[in-house]
Amino acid sequence: MKPIDKPYILLDYNVVKYIKNGYAPKDKNGDCSKDGVALSHLVQRLKRKYCFPICESHLLDLKKSVNPGNEDRVLDDLRFMSEMSNNTALFMKRDGDQKIVLFEGVDIKDHFQKILSENEPQQPINIITGRSFNVDMDKVDEDSIFMDELQKNNGLMDKDVIKNVLREIWINIDNPVYYNKFKKNIIMLRDNLMNNDTSISDHTNEIEKAIKYLDFFNENDDDLFDGKAMEFCSWLSEVGGVKIDSMNLHYKIQNLYMVLDFHPILSEKTDKKNKPSNIMRDCKAAIFGSSAEYLVTEDNKFYRKIKIVYRILGIRTKTVKMSEFMDRFL
């Protein structure tokens, strides 16, 4: 395989499936805008100017469907992806800027097998040493993700407690019940601080700053939303010991996208089918889409969030639905 310099259009996995299945499902209003057949013809016509590559997010989505007995269906999906993409795929360089590179002559099946064999990444837990303090356990909500670790540590909040809680979050993040509890904890934090329902009320400056940035969860004004989202993302990164200005673009996309999932209007519903790890796959698609001419999706929540992320970060990719995309070229 070799790198090529050609503009590309990234089709989200759901769009790839619409094309493969070749049907045009009607919505409740009788609309057939998700016309996989018409889009397939358009893709073939546009291949003279654009590539339609496969990327890691496509193959991670396919990986979810791998089960004993459906090997033929998985192979058929891989065959279709190879054909649709003309064996082109996107890869991320492992250097500092993690530039996205388009390759041709890629064995998509082999690429998928490598992803299948990869172990889940281990999350490095790095905590900057800070002040420790005693917690008034009577003021800790019984549903707090800190409760168990604080009880084990005799009510002392220190870097070990935070480290253990972060490790627990990483281990359980794909448990929908735990993830929803985690989101609830974050959203409740502002109200608890506002009501002085906290054991750290002597840290006045930190609390006032936290309240200011946590107000993002109540923001619905379009003119203020982008700024408050970025302020909250920057604050949250600094709490973790990293300044957002020091991050490369891909980490900014990932952090901002995940922050938006905490906002009540944009939050994904997580359950046994739509697990929190789906959000990480969406982040992958958002990253690979950041160098595309177009990113085409039929996932409504992803569509809304990624338009906000790209707008805030000044990314020029045009995020569109299937019908919008076809209207531009037909």
Residues 159 and 47 in one domain: no
* 73 and 101 co-located in one domain: yes
Residue 217 lies in a domain: no
**DSSP state for residue 241 in the 8-state scheme:** T
What is the arithmetic mean of pLDDT over 304-329?
94
DSSP state of 175: -
Q: Are 98 and 135 within one domain?
A: no
Q: Which residue, chain included where needed, has tokens 């409760």?
A: 147
Pair 79, 148 in one domain: no
* 79 and 31 assigned to the same domain: yes
Residue 231 three-state SS: helix
Domain count, the chain: 2
What DSSP character marks residue 102?
Answer: E
Q: Identify the pLDDT of residue 219.
A: 79
Flag whether 271 is in a domain.
no
Q: Are residues 37 and 141 in the same domain?
A: no
Q: Is residue 238, in this structure, part of any structural domain at all? A: no
- Is residue 117 predicted with pLDDT exceeding 90? no
Paired tokens of 27:
């919505």
Q: What is the mean pLDDT of the chain?
A: 82
Residue 241 lies in a domain: no
* Exposure letters 279-300 (e unless 16+ CB within 10 A, then b): bbbbbbbbbbbbbbebbbbbbe
CA-closest candidate to residue 34, choices 310, 300, 306: 300
The reply to whether 10 falls in a domain is yes
Structure-model confidence comparison of residues 189 and 18, the more confident one: 18
The predicted model gives 216-230 an average pLDDT of: 84
pLDDT in tens, 10-57: 999 999 999 998 865 555 555 555 688 889 999 999 999 999 999 999
Bigger pLDDT: 116 or 288? 288
pTM of the model: 0.80
Residue 165 domain-assigned (yes or no): yes
Is 93 a member of any domain?
yes
Higher pLDDT: 232 or 4? It is: 4
Same domain? For 8 and 113 the reply is yes
Decide which of 187, 210, 237 is a domain's last residue: 187
CA angle 108, 9, 258 (to 5 degrees): 85
- pLDDT confidence band for 206 (50 / 70 / 90): low
pLDDT(124) > 50? no
Residues 82 and 164 in one domain: no
List the one residue out of 165, 190, 321, 156 whose CA is nearest residue 262.
190
Domain boundary (187, 210, 231) is at 187
Calpha distance 161→69 (Å, rounded): 44
Q: Do 140 and 71 share a domain, yes or no?
A: no
In a domain, 236, yes or no: no
Let me know if 211 is exposed, middle or buried by CB neighbors in 10 A (0-12, 13-18, 19+). middle
- Beta-carbon count within 10 A of 136 CB: 11
Q: Which domain holds residue 75?
A: 2-123+293-300+311-329
Alpha helices (H) along the chain: 13-21, 36-46, 56-64, 71-85, 108-117, 147-152, 159-172, 176-194, 204-214, 222-239, 249-260, 277-289, 300-313, 322-329
Instruction: Tell me: do 50 and 142 sit in the same domain.
Output: no
